[in-house]
Structure 1
Amino acid sequence: MKQLVNKLKGDRVIWSFVALLALFSFMPVFSASSNLAYIGHGTGNTLGYLVKHLAHICIGFLIIYWVHRVPYHYFRAISKIALPVVWLLLAYTLLKGTVIAGANASRWIQVPFIGITFQTSTLASIVLFIYVARYLSKTKEENEPFQTSFVQLWIPVFITLALILPANFSTTALIFAMVMMLTFIGKYPLKYIAFIIGSGIAMLAFFLLVAKAFPDSRFFSRVSTWESRILNFTTDKPDEDDYQIEKAKIAIASGKLGGLGPGKSVQKNFLPQSSSDFIYAIIVEEYGLVGGVAIVILYLLLLFRFVIASHKANTLFGKLVVVGLGFPMIFQAMINMAVAVELLPVTGQTLPLISSGGSSIWMTCFSLGIIISVTKKDEEVAEELEEKERRKEALQRLIDKELAEEDLAGNEKEEIFEEEPMYSIEDNSKNPMNAVLNK
Structure 2
Amino acid sequence: MAEQPVHHTVEHLFRHESGKMLAVLTKLFGLSQVEIAEDIVQETLIAALESWKLKGLPDDPRAWLYRAAKNRTIDYLRRERNFRLRIAPVIRQEESDPEASHWLDAYFLDTEIEDAQLRMLFATCHPAIPLESQLALMLRTLCGLSTEEIAAAFLLPTDSIGKRLYRAKEKIRQEKLSLEVPSGVEILPRLDAVLHAIYLLFNEGYKSASNDTVVRHELCAEAIRLGALLARHPLSNLPKTHALLALLCFHSARLDTRLNAEGEIVLLEYQDRSRWNRQLIALAYEHFKQSSQGETISAYHLEAAIASYHAVAPSFAQTNWQAIYYCYNLLMKVQPSPIVELNRAIAMGYADGPKAGIEALSKIEGMVKHYLWHTALGDFYHKAGNRTDALAAYQQALQMVTLQAEYKVIQGKIEGCEGG
Asked if TM exceeds 0.5, the reply is no
Higher relative contact order (CA 8 A, sep 6+): 1
